[in-house]
Amino acid sequence: MNPRLSFALALLVLLACAKRGEAPSRATLPGMTAPQNGEPPHAAKKPHKVSSPNGEREDPYYWLRDDERKDPEVLGYLAEENAWRDKVMAPQQAVEEALFAELIGRLTPNDTSVPYLERGYWYYRRLEEGKEHPIYCRKKGDLQAVEEVLLDANDNSRGHAFYSVAARAVSNSGRLFAWSDDTVGRRQYVLHVKDTATGSVLQDTATNLDSDIVWANDDRTLLYVERDPTTLLGYRVMKHVLGETQDSVVYEEKDKSFYVNVSKSKSGAYIFIELQATTMSETLYADVSDPALRFKPVLPRSADHEYQVEHVGRDFIIRTNSKGAKNFRIARVPIGESSKLSAWKDLIPTQTGRFVEDFDVLTNAVAVNYREDGLLKVAITPLTPKGKPVTISADEPSYTMFLVPTPELERGKFRYVYQSLTTPPTTFDVDVKTGTKEELKREQVPGYDPTQYATEYLRANARDGAAVPVSVAYRKDTPRDGSAPLLQYGYGAYGASIDPEFDRDWVSLMDRGFVVAIAHIRGGQELGRAWYEDGKLLNKKNGITDFIDVTHVLVEHGFAARGKVFAEGRSAGGIIMGAIANMAPSNYRGICAEVPFVDVVTTMLDTSIPLTTNEMDEWGNPATKEYYDYMLSYSPYDNVRAQGYPAMLVVTGLWDSQVQYYEPAKWVAKLRELKTDSNPLVFSIDMAAGHGGKSGRFEAKRDRAREYAFFLAQLADKP
């Protein structure tokens, strides 16, 4: 048969399978070849001194920083990198397109979220076939009523390369609908207000918002958080009154280590201003009916005390780590006595081995999301004497279940979502009185059969003896003889736990014989507060070595072939990717670093860079020599050296507000200068996106298709 005809037929078959949602052949995709040879871009080196109280460092690629994103030389270099990306990936273009078709074929064309009831309306969002963005809707009274469209994000996205909706809030009467959106990717949101009775969008607006919007009870006043235009830190709460052109300051936070949020209690009776630093928090409250909105603290802030507040009846229900509750407890206190910590009485005491992560309230019960043995679970505690505690059970070895707060205090049911690496998200209501579970919806995944896949939950011994949890999944027909390729994911920062959630994109890898794994490394809180503290500040390298040690264990136990291990991490997980590339390059066939935080010391020395001031308690202050030296010892950019590196795909967005594009740009430039191998190094810059990548449910799959095509190319190059 003609080779070109054979290729075309194979590709058509693959695309047809993807459209039907069927699993494609596990053989190497047609057209898979090694990346082309050629000369990649090499950034110029320009002398630049980075000063600190602990000495100067030379940074020849510092010039790639352009805060305005307008410098022709910088933009020209980024364009050259994208052109090189296209050249290297050209032989895999057909594969990438086939994967893209497969990934979007696994999305449900038409879908509707589980509705929730709030003040007489059922709210939900819809996705329509062929459309990128959600449609936000409601129905009055019951679900058989006529649908009212509050916001069609598809209409608003027209003419914008990027579009994202953040906050949405309905006024007390239900007539006014406010939302904020972003057309750049910088997460500097713009406020809009719609009169649902007339359908008209009011002239009222504000710019440079954080994502929170809250209505007062008068249907005229709303609160939002304004961002500092330079640091992008939400630092003050503003009050906007409809029809007025000048907004007033309600609260301004002077300490730049705090994030500022505004919310409303589930009861609707109070507005909260929530102030959160890495190891300290404070909540202010005001009666929503108070025209002056006078705020006072639930409890004034104090060192190392974190707490979060909800309202039920005459009491505040509080998650707190006070009184030695390192893994947190749930307390109850009369509102008028909240400023006295001695009045906070245990509702759910702290327990060894159980980390209380979140909670929700009804008038007659409290539900907690807690971690035990690394897994996120749900338990219900009654607020009435005759009520019985309820603990939700699960059948799989690795899973997660998280609470979904609903607005109605009197509904008598809590809502949660259960999922695993092999079970799609499934929404349940659980009755507080009977403990009976009702399945409301399981997400549909076209062509996916969960019975063909398996998941396991392991412990990998780290070099210092710590037992690192690992969630693993694979097709049941994947050989367990040490021949399979592996994709290993990790994060390890801020106490953010990476749960074994279902990833429909990973099915494409598992169907090609991959094992997928999440390394629950230190720096998260999977095993409680101590797990986090053992992976931050002067313990940061524990998370890096955990990731490497998990790889060793998975290879030794036959989950993967030694020469077929791929690693992926994003944002703060980019530190892990950069550090393992420096410390253990031979362990990995390929690495994908997405929006990676890799220039730790220089960034943390510069408080003008967005979010730096909030991070000192996570990474340390490099103005102090102990932290400066320690951060230098692992910072990926500072430790690039002349050695061989794995194949690497680095992804960023020009408008990234969390990790500025120039961090990975500098890192790639230095890697190109010093690496001694011939493995591909591909740098992909989305010129119209930020930290979250492309907007839109279909276009968001473009980067994932490129990543998988990149990994598969490395296997095709050297089987």
Task: Cite the active site residues.
Answer: 571, 656, 691
Three-state DSSP state, 1:
coil
Q: Can you say whether residue 306 is alpha, beta or left, with left for phi > 0 and alpha for psi between -120 and 50 degrees? A: beta
Sorted by sequence, the CB contacts under 8 Å of residue 681 that are 6+ apart come out as 40, 645, 647, 648, 650, 668, 671, 672, 675
DSSP label at residue 351: B
What the block records as the tokens of 469 is: 């949890």
For 102, phi and psi rounded to 5 degrees? Answer: -65, -45
Q: What is the 3-state secondary structure (H, E, C) of 463-493?
A: CCCCEEEEEEEEECCCCCCCCCCEEEECCCC
Residue type, 623: A
* 3-class DSSP state of 96: helix
Task: Calculate the alpha carbon distances from 230 to 183, 236, 574, 610 in Å.
Answer: 18, 14, 24, 7
CB–CB of 543/568 below 8 Å?
no
Q: List, in sequence order, the alpha helices (H) in 21-160.
A: 72-89, 93-105, 153-157
Residue 207: other Cβ atoms inside 10 A = 12
**What is the maximal distance between C-alpha atoms in the chain?**
84
Q: If DSSP states are collapsed to H, E and C, what string results for 231-280?
A: CCCEEEEEEEECCCCCCEEEEECCCCCCEEEEEECCCCCEEEEEEECCCC
What are residue 376's DSSP bridge partners?
371
CB 80 within 8 A of CB 39: no
Distance CA 140, CA 125 (A): 15
Q: CB neighbours (10 Å) of residue 637?
A: 25
Q: Which residues contact 337 (CB under 8 A, 6 or more apart)?
A: 343
Beta strands, E only, 476-580 = 486-489, 515-519, 565-570
Contact 261, 254 (CB under 8 A): no
User: CA–CA separation, 417 vs 398, rounded Å?
Assistant: 14
Nearest to residue 261, comparing CAs of 273, 279, 249, 248? 273
CA dist., res. 344 & res. 353, Å (int)? 22
Residues 6+ away with beta carbon under 8 Å from 361: 266, 310, 311, 312, 317, 367, 409
Which of 636, 621, 526, 506 has its CA nearest to residue 575? Answer: 636
Handedness of CA 287, 288, 291, 295 (dihedral sign): positive
